Amino acid sequence: MDTLVKLFPITCKKAIFFAIFLGFILTNPLKGAKTSASSSSDQHDFTYFKSITLLKNPNNMVLQNQTRTSKLKLFTSSDCSIWTKECSNEILKIAQKKEHVKWIKSVRRKIHEYPELAFEEYETSELVRQELEKMEIPYQFPLATTGIRAMIGSGQPPFVALRADMDALPIQEAVEWEHKSKIAGKMHACGHDAHVAMLIGAAKILKAREKNLKGTVILIFQPAEEAGNGAKRMIKNGALENVEAIFAVHVSHQHPTGVIGSRPGPLLAGCGFFRAVISGKTGQASNPHHSIDPVLAASAAVISLQSIVSRESNPLDSQVVSVTSFNAGDKFDVIPEAVTLSGTFRAFSSTNFYQLLRRIREVFTEQASVFRCSATVEFFEDKDTIYPPTVNDDRMYEHVKKVAGDLVGPTNFKVVPPMMGAEDFSFYSELIPAAFFYIGIRNETLGSYHTGHSPHFMIDEDVLPIGAATHAAIAERYLYEYGS
């Protein structure tokens, strides 16, 4: 969006910081590199499977690149050793360059044409790695089958992470356009193609500004957000090693293109699923006293489940229990042997979430026994279908708000209400300070107003450079504010 660039014209500050930076470099050209080198060996313990030029010593590679980048950028950018709005402007300017916009859109379109489901993101992962290699960004692969952990910066603490999810959905795309999904029955209907493109875009910006980074940015490209708890497996494989804070974005059809939204505290609900089987004794419906009716027991259980939220939960603390399927016999005159019910439950805190789980189990079991039936209840805990609530750290939320305010203007940052949807970003936010935020893709003219997971879902691609700039500014400024 060109208007965003116009909002932040170049000021004389640029000239002042340029002069300071020039003086600094001329009097002390290798100071930064030396400082990094002296402390790098004991801090950096990554194993990069495929770094570009110096596989044996990725730290040196970073330092060489830093020195080279410093020389290259000396006459083109200001010194952001003191953070000013000018630094945000520069990031946005790089993101909005014509060639950058063209490239980032092409990356997104390639991913969109070949959507891949959870833990099958082989081509997507390959494409990401190719782009990282072109930029000479070292990375670790594979994590969680297709996941990638890349690194930009000094190789020194602090480490701040940016995360993108890569998986698509088993949905047939209904949008007719030039880059429609070429895989029948699969579609990027949640915008994860855009998330990957924005993070690759951020990588390019951060690489160009590597000399400014007062620490290290970790880029996490994870598989299987929609199903399979990819985040959990990425963490198990070391994605958060040394990382002290993490951020991620999700596109949102609820906000106009480029508008950023988030909130402190609980943002997305914890999500779980259940399946209960209530068993009785089959028999002729004309003589019900010879059978034990599981339909009656299951019906009572459905009614009782409604009382958990309405009677046992604090009305100011939103929770949900929904029964979504109820399957029994298929005869008019036979009482079935068993009823199978399934559904979902949501809550905004782990305590409430596990309280719901306990009560759902109790209600099924106890209601079944009231009607002389028995019940088994399954929560699929071993199948990675439980998502904890996504809770934003207050300080990380404030950081996103501040960065967004500088980039897109304070009026284009919105405090959003919590939503009952779930995100596996919650596995990261359970462990370290984190903030999840939305970026608008809504453009009535284009038709990008359909909800995620709709076959009509589409995005306004003008969001891509803004998202890339937001990611980059969040990371660079985090390191500026929390680094040494």
Residues of this chain that interact with Zn ion (CB under 5 A) are 190
User: Which has the closest alpha carbon to 414: 270, 258, 266, 265?
Assistant: 258
CB of 191 to Zn ion, least distance (A): 6
Give least dist CB 190 to Zn ion, A. 3
Among residues 190 and 335, whose Cβ is nearest to Zn ion? 190
Tokens representing 428? Answer: 């990261």
Give the nearer residue to Zn ion in terms of CB position, either 190 or 475: 190
C-alpha torsion sign, points 375, 381, 383, 387? positive
Taking the complex as a whole, how short is the minimal distance between the CB of residue 171 and Zn ion, in angstroms?
Answer: 10
Q: Nearer to Zn ion by C-beta: 103 or 425?
A: 425
For residue 27 the two structure tokens come to: 């009097």
Q: Considering beta carbons, is residue 4 or 251 the nearer one to Zn ion?
A: 251
Least spacing, CB of residue 148 vs Zn ion, in Å: 18
Comparing CB distances to Zn ion, the nearer of 89 and 222 is 222
Q: Which residue is nearest to Zn ion (CB)?
A: 190
Decide whether 190 or 267 has the Cβ nearer to Zn ion: 190
Rounded to a whole number of angstroms, the minimum distance from the CB of residue 226 to Zn ion is: 5
Query: Distance (Å, rounded) from C-alpha 42 to C-alpha 28?
Result: 25
Q: What is the largest CA-CA distance in the chain?
A: 99
Nearer to Zn ion, 73 or 253 (CB): 253
CA–CA separation, 471 and 87 (whole Å): 14
Residue 310's SS3 state is helix
Q: Is 305 helix (H, G, I), strand (E, B) or coil?
A: helix
Least separation in angstroms between residue 450's CB and Zn ion is 13
How far, CA to CA in Å, does 218 sit from each of 57, 80, 260, 289, 397?
Answer: 17, 20, 22, 66, 19
| Torsion 5-10-13-18 (CA) sign | positive
Q: Is 277 exposed, middle or buried (0-12, 13-18, 19+ CB in 10 A)?
A: buried
Least distance CB 436 / Zn ion (angstroms): 11
Nearest CB to Zn ion, comparing residues 278 and 459: 459
Q: Which amino acid is at 14?
A: K
Rounded to a whole number of angstroms, the minimum distance from the CB of residue 251 to Zn ion is 8
Exposed, middle or buried by CB within 10 Å (0-12, 13-18, 19+), for 3? exposed
Query: Which helix (DSSP H) or strand (DSSP E) does residue 150 occupy?
Result: strand 147-153
Q: Which of 194, 195, 254, 170 is nearest to 455 (CA)?
A: 170
- Comparing CB distances to Zn ion, the nearer of 190 and 309 is 190
The conformation of residue 292, written as its DSSP 8-state character, comes to B
Q: How far is the CB of 135 from Zn ion (least distance, A)?
A: 25
Torsion of the alpha carbons at 36, 42, 45 and 51, rounded to the nearest 10: 40
